[in-house]
A and B are shown apart, each in its own frame.
Chain A
Amino acid sequence: MGKKFNPMGTAVLVFAVILITMTAIRLTGLGSEFPNPIGNAMNRVLSPAERAVWKIGDGIKDNFRAIFSYRTVKAENEELRKQVEKVKGDNLQLKQQVLAALRYQELDEGIYKSPTLQKFEKIGATIIKRNPTAWYQIITVNKGSDHGVKMDDPVVANVGLVGKVVSVYAKTSDILLILDGDGQVGALVRDNQGKAIFGILKGTYKKGSRLNVSGSLEINFRQEDEVNVGDLVFTSGLGGVYPKEIPIGVVIGIRLDSTGLLKTAAIEPIVNFDSLEEVYLVKMPEGS
């Protein structure tokens, strides 16, 4: 004789499982301090394999790119050489301007004493995994709590903001990119007179193509705010996670809200997230 099926018991069991799962999902979301020893052990075992696969993949990609896109690579190279020359010139000009500005006491006090990344200790890290599913915008790097990485540490590339640390393991850490809808950043835009306009930058998670991430960030402003295409976007330092004045991107478009109250600026990130290989984890001083 088979076992008797108890519909009430089954319903209660299903309900309990759903309730427990929903609570667990909620409690172990991004930024939670869930200890996860099994995940830790898995990460420790699998991260060397991931690192190896990543290295092989990068090697193959670079070689194939050079072979199949020889013309593009050549044109790109020429273009880059021209840009380097231009940047060298600009850099020289900027240095001269900085030296000139330093002569003025008010500028010395107003700008050069503001906190910048130079003041903080940074840990260099290599990316070993990217977006394990299509739903997250997360990368994993090869530095963890053993190297002094902590939750919410800001992450930057050579030129701009990348995101923040959302999970720390012994040897690895997960970084939530600013492109992700969850990764909101207190930002400011400098208008043409240098005046700061504050807003909250949000990732929209939309990617035009594999190689193009333009328009994947946006900020809402009031209709009367003087924001223009080409304005630079920096971190505002408000919110306590990111230091002030880290470059984020450039305004590439402005869309007016149908209600007439707001306008949305589309931001092109300065960092090219698709070709990112190394990042710096910024160690914020205690109590900052």
Chain B
Amino acid sequence: MKRNFFMLIILAFCLILPGTVFHYLSWAGIKPDLAMLWVIYIVLHQRPMQGLISGFIAGLIVDMYFGRYIGLYAITLTVVALIISFMQQRWYRDNIPLTMVLVFITTALGQTLMVVIAKTTGLNWFFGDALRIIFGISLYNSLLVPITYPFVHRSFTSGFLHQKSKFEQ
């Protein structure tokens, strides 16, 4: 319970920061997708089914916060969670460069999916810059891995986000 609460608090920060702090740290209008990065981190440290549910709930919260296109992030982050939980079993998650690659690939797939969904549902987005934005967000997210992932990984494996097994409780 306490663990889920902490995860929600961090998600709230991931929602606040892009519209505030990262306004000053954006380049050519590009800023990281912290909610997606956080879901990737969560799913990397959870069982596949649990990861999928976390992805969907986190996506729904992001949609509610933005207040429009409800379902866009929910479906995107569920698919991201699905990809991560599939790759997680074949991936060495303690390795930071490898995690950077994983984050880059998954963010790029997630953002591309968002563009595809937006286009399919007929949203009036301007897609002239889509490739540049997708590449920029993916690169930004992967560059944040060396700064953030060591703390997150430690928290999930032995810190306040560590999930205690039934025998430990």
Binding site for B on A (CB under 8 A): 17-18, 20-22, 24-30, 32, 34, 36, 38-39, 42-43, 46, 49-50, 53-54, 57, 60-61, 128-136, 140, 166-167, 169, 174, 180-182, 203-210
Binding site for A on B (CB under 8 A): 12, 15-21, 23-24, 26-31, 33, 61, 64-72, 74-75, 114, 117-118, 120-126, 128-129, 133, 136-137
- Closest Cβ–Cβ distance, residue A63 to chain B (whole Å): 12
**Chain A: which residue is nearest B18 at the CB level?**
A132
User: B29: which A residues are within 8 A, CB to CB?
Assistant: 131, 134, 207, 210
User: A133: which B residues are within 8 A, CB to CB?
Assistant: 18, 31, 33, 66
Q: How far is it, in angstroms, between the C-alpha of A166 and the C-alpha of B66 when the chains are bound? A: 12
User: B12: which A residues are within 8 A, CB to CB?
Assistant: 42, 46
Q: How far is it, in angstroms, between the C-alpha of A129 and the C-alpha of B23 when the chains are bound? A: 9
Q: Once the chains bind, are B125 and A181 in contact (CB under 8 Å)?
A: yes
Given A25-B71, A181-B124: A129 and B64 interface contact (C-beta under 8 Å): no
**Chain A: which residue is nearest B26 at the CB level?**
A210
User: A135: which B residues are within 8 A, CB to CB?
Assistant: 114, 118, 125, 133
User: B31: which A residues are within 8 A, CB to CB?
Assistant: 131, 133-134
- Closest Cβ–Cβ distance, residue B81 to chain A (whole Å): 14
A-B CB contact pairs (8 Å), 8 listed: A25-B72, A25-B118, A36-B70, A131-B19, A132-B15, A136-B66, A181-B126, A205-B126
Q: How far is it, in angstroms, between the C-alpha of A214 and the C-alpha of B17 when the chains are bound? A: 26
Supply 17 further A-B pairs (C-beta < 8 A) apart from A17-B75, A18-B75: A28-B68, A42-B12, A43-B65, A46-B16, A129-B19, A130-B19, A131-B31, A132-B18, A133-B31, A133-B66, A135-B114, A135-B125, A140-B19, A180-B126, A181-B125, A206-B128, A209-B28
User: A136: which B residues are within 8 A, CB to CB?
Assistant: 66
User: A203: which B residues are within 8 A, CB to CB?
Assistant: 126
The secondary-structure label for the interface of chain A is mixed
- Closest Cβ–Cβ distance, residue B66 to chain A (whole Å): 6
**Chain A: which residue is nearest B29 at the CB level?**
A207
B27, B64, B128: the one contacting A38 at CB < 8 Å is: B64
Q: Once the chains bind, are A22 and B65 in contact (CB under 8 Å)?
A: no
Given A36-B64, A42-B64, A181-B125: A28 and B137 interface contact (C-beta under 8 Å): no
Given A36-B64, A43-B65, A134-B29: A182 and B20 interface contact (C-beta under 8 Å): no
Q: Once the chains bind, are B129 and A206 in contact (CB under 8 Å)?
A: yes
A36, A53, A134: the one contacting B133 at CB < 8 Å is: A134
User: A182: which B residues are within 8 A, CB to CB?
Assistant: 124-125
Q: Once the chains bind, are A204 and B68 in contact (CB under 8 Å)?
A: no
User: B125: which A residues are within 8 A, CB to CB?
Assistant: 135, 181-182
Q: How far is it, in angstroms, between the C-alpha of A24 and the C-alpha of B72 when the chains are bound? A: 9
Residue of A28, A43, A46 ringed by the most chain B CB atoms within 10 A: A28
- Closest Cβ–Cβ distance, residue B82 to chain A (whole Å): 11
Q: How far is it, in angstroms, between the C-alpha of A174 and the C-alpha of B125 when the chains are bound? A: 17
The 6 closest A-B pairs by CB, nearest first: A181-B126, A129-B19, A21-B71, A24-B71, A205-B126, A132-B19
Q: Once the chains bind, are A50 and B19 in contact (CB under 8 Å)?
A: yes
User: B23: which A residues are within 8 A, CB to CB?
Assistant: 57, 130-131
Q: How far is it, in angstroms, between the C-alpha of A63 and the C-alpha of B38 when the chains are bound? A: 31
**Chain B: which residue is nearest A52 at the CB level?**
B20
Q: How far is it, in angstroms, between the C-alpha of A7 and the C-alpha of B117 when the chains are bound? A: 24
B16, B66, B120, B122: the one contacting A53 at CB < 8 Å is: B16
